[in-house]
Amino acid sequence: MPEPLITTPHLDDGSAVIRHRVLLLTLTMTSSLGMVASTIYVPSIPAIAGALETSIARVQLTFVGYLLAFAASMLVLGPLSDRYGRRRTIICGLALSTIGSVACAVSPTIDFLIAARVLQGIGACAGLVVGRAVTREVWGREAAARVIAGRAIAATLMQAFAPVLGGCLQGWFGWRSNFVVTAGLACAAMTLVASFVPERRAAAAPASRPGGILAGYRTLIGTPRFLSYAFTAAGSHAGFHIFAAGAPAVLIVGFGIRPEDYGFYASLPPMGFLVGSFLSNRLTRRLGIDGLITIGCTVLIPAASIMVALALLSVASPYAVIGPMMLICCGSGLITPNATAGSLGVNAGIVGTASGLGSFMQMTGAAGATALLSLGPSGSPLMLASVIALVGLFAVTAFGSLIQLDQRSVQAAATA
């Protein structure tokens, strides 16, 4: 285990304290950039479809392509940063994200926009994945956990309010301005990374070689407890991404919400996630990981059922979607952090590999589930609610398989 590059500064060392705070701001910005880029343009989806003379379903594929690229990058950027350096890897990723954002802004066709979003997603992942490694090396184990938790809250808030900014940009300057702003944020992040992120080059450890990485992945795939926890996290995590991709068509086209107002409605469901995450943080020691996942499931499934029922009754109100979605996100806030922690604890020797693979499964699951929206009519509240309910049921089923696995283990121990 490499030693921290920088020790926590003494309180009387003012310059070191300031530098650590700027580093924290830098890592928060770089880790949140990918989430901002994924949602800032969603109020513009109908406008993009009109401008590029395509369907809303085709524009939604820009969301799917971004998530798939973001997910695939998680599997390789961590090992690359071990070999070539943290700062260099983050800067290269942000540069790719900048190029992709500019390409999005000048896209002449929908196919060009989808390809540009893929490039944007590949680069935007660097700040999140490599930033965690930097945090561990700079702050050490215990302090790093608090830093990462704080960054997660900041990222959720930025993701929640990005559509608010995006709706304003759409109303003032048009859809292309969303990608111009994203490119500007990536450039600002690169400047901060170059100035404040410490560099480190690791020796070519086995974990950074393709064979070592694949061996770790094979071990995890062959571990039922990891798969159960990872699939539970993936199912509960996917609901928000489905909402982010499908809600603009439902609310703006179906219910007549103005793009400028869409950001307000889009910012409400993440508040539910923050409530669930806060409760999870407070209650994990008392109720345990599995106990909180169970509570989250009892919130998520009824809320998704209510959303489906309201869609079947043709309740044409944005709150028929937003209200249940807030509860669904609250359930996700209870489930996802605990299921993720459970997946990281199955093998102490390959925690980093488990983090990468689990994150990859979450993102690909979200992308695949979002793609299901294109199979139904565009802007259908019932289609949106059905897909969200389906992934919630998948999460509950995966957790149920874990409970059955534990019961079989107890029975086997009792009969031994």
Distance CA 41, CA 28 (A): 21
Q: What is the mean pLDDT of residues 139-161?
A: 63
Q: pLDDT tier at 31 (50, 70, 90 boundaries)?
A: confident
Q: Which of 238, 257, 239 has its CA nearest to residue 248?
A: 257
Q: What is the mean pLDDT of residues 240-262?
A: 85
Yes or no: say if 64 and 119 are a contact pair by the CB < 8 Å rule. no
Tokens 């990918």, residue located:
34
Yes or no: say if 254 and 378 are a contact pair by the CB < 8 Å rule. no
Distance CA 248, CA 43 (A): 6
pLDDT of residue 204: 43
Least confident of 49-63, 225-239, 248-262: 248-262
Cα 110 to Cα 34, 46, 179: the distances in Å are 21, 13, 15
Distance CA 263, CA 275 (A): 19
Yes or no: say if 400 and 270 are a contact pair by the CB < 8 Å rule. no
Residue of 77 and 174 predicted with greater confidence: 174
Yes or no: say if 166 and 47 are a contact pair by the CB < 8 Å rule. no
Q: What six digits make up the tokens of 317?
A: 């109100």
231 has a pLDDT exceeding 50: yes
Yes or no: say if 151 and 246 are a contact pair by the CB < 8 Å rule. no
Q: What is the mean pLDDT of residues 275-303?
A: 85
207 has a pLDDT exceeding 60: no
Q: What does the DSSP assignment read for 56-100?
A: HHHHHHHHHHHHHHHHHHHHHHHHHHHHH-HHHHHHHHHHHHHHH
Domains and CATH numbers, the chain: 15-204 (1.20.1250.20), 209-416 (1.20.1250.20)
Q: pLDDT tier at 128 (50, 70, 90 boundaries)?
A: confident
Q: List CB contacts of 376: < 8 A, sequence separation 6 or more.
A: 382, 383, 386
Sign of CA dihedral 343, 346, 276, 182: negative
pLDDT of residue 412: 55
pLDDT of residue 396: 92
Distance CA 294, CA 300 (A): 10
Q: What is the mean pLDDT of residues 326-348?
A: 83
Yes or no: say if 242 and 370 are a contact pair by the CB < 8 Å rule. yes
pLDDT of residue 5: 43
pLDDT of residue 209: 56
Q: pLDDT tier at 212 (50, 70, 90 boundaries)?
A: low
C-beta neighbour count of 223 within 10 angstroms: 16
DSSP 206: G
Q: What is the mean pLDDT of residues 180-187?
A: 94
pLDDT of residue 351: 61
240 has a pLDDT exceeding 60: yes
Q: What is the pTM of this model?
A: 0.69
Sign of CA dihedral 109, 58, 264, 295: negative
pLDDT of residue 205: 46
Q: What six digits make up the tokens of 4?
A: 């921290």
96 has a pLDDT exceeding 50: yes
Q: What is the mean pLDDT of residues 161-174?
A: 88
Distance CA 369, CA 235 (A): 9
121 has a pLDDT exceeding 50: yes
